[in-house]
Copies of this chain bind each other. A is one copy, B any other.
């Protein structure tokens, strides 16, 4: 189907079409499509832009990744489909960043497809296609990791992670940086540094901030991060967007006088509908 650029949700429709295509090519599983929809609603409620609070988190994330001895970014099917280019740019901006494929619904061909998408986007070395280590006490395939990557990492960037693994990584003493649009998810709540932002926007900002940081002469360090405040900020942003949206009201005139008040929310389409 051809998408019209005049559709009020054109940008979302394009991303959806891209994911549906990645699904047909075997990168993304049905559960990944459903997860994308969940994130879409949160992004919509967050105003579909990086909040000042998220931007601050992204800058601290850049600093942590630069200061780490063994930084790693974990890539699943949705990240491979949506942000392979951004992962490649991040790997260029953070020297020593390991890039590892890690799938909840793992099959050999799927792991290979995600690795291929990353290599095509310019990632020189992709770990995790043939796992060589295991995270203890984690029942899903997400436990299967690479000895040279997640297994030995001190700082893990986990975009679109599931809650079980975020908790398991943290229990191993690793610092967990999550990228998750849901500020209420177990992943966001378990992460040391929860970034509540869309994955492409977040990865780009981390890479940009890392470039800026490296130009400075002082060595990077691991500044503290107030995760409670970051989660609270995201929820406040949602509450603010909701009350703004609430003012729009119904479309079109009431058919009969259903209420005494006249509908004020006339004005046809709005770009801000989901």
Contacts and interface: CB of A to CB of B under 8 A. Distances in A.
Contacts of A256: 224
Contacts of A189: 248-251, 265, 273
A129 interface: no
A129 to B, nearest CB: 21
Interface string A197-228: 00000000000000000000000000011111
Sorting the interface of chain A by its residue count into under 10, 10 to 19, 20 to 34 or 35 or more gives: 35 or more
Given A182-B41, A186-B8, A192 B255 contact: yes
Copies in the complex: 2
A24 B269 CA distance: 35
A172 interface: no
A269 B168 CA distance: 13
Nearest to A226: B259
Interface string A1-40: 1001000100000001001100110000111011111111
A175 interface: yes
Interface stretch (A69-77, A110-118, A130-138, A236-244): A236-244
22 contacts: A1-B105, A4-B139, A16-B30, A16-B34, A24-B30, A33-B37, A34-B37, A34-B40, A37-B38, A37-B40, A185-B273, A189-B249, A189-B250, A189-B265, A192-B258, A224-B258, A224-B259, A227-B254, A228-B263, A229-B259, A232-B249, A242-B242
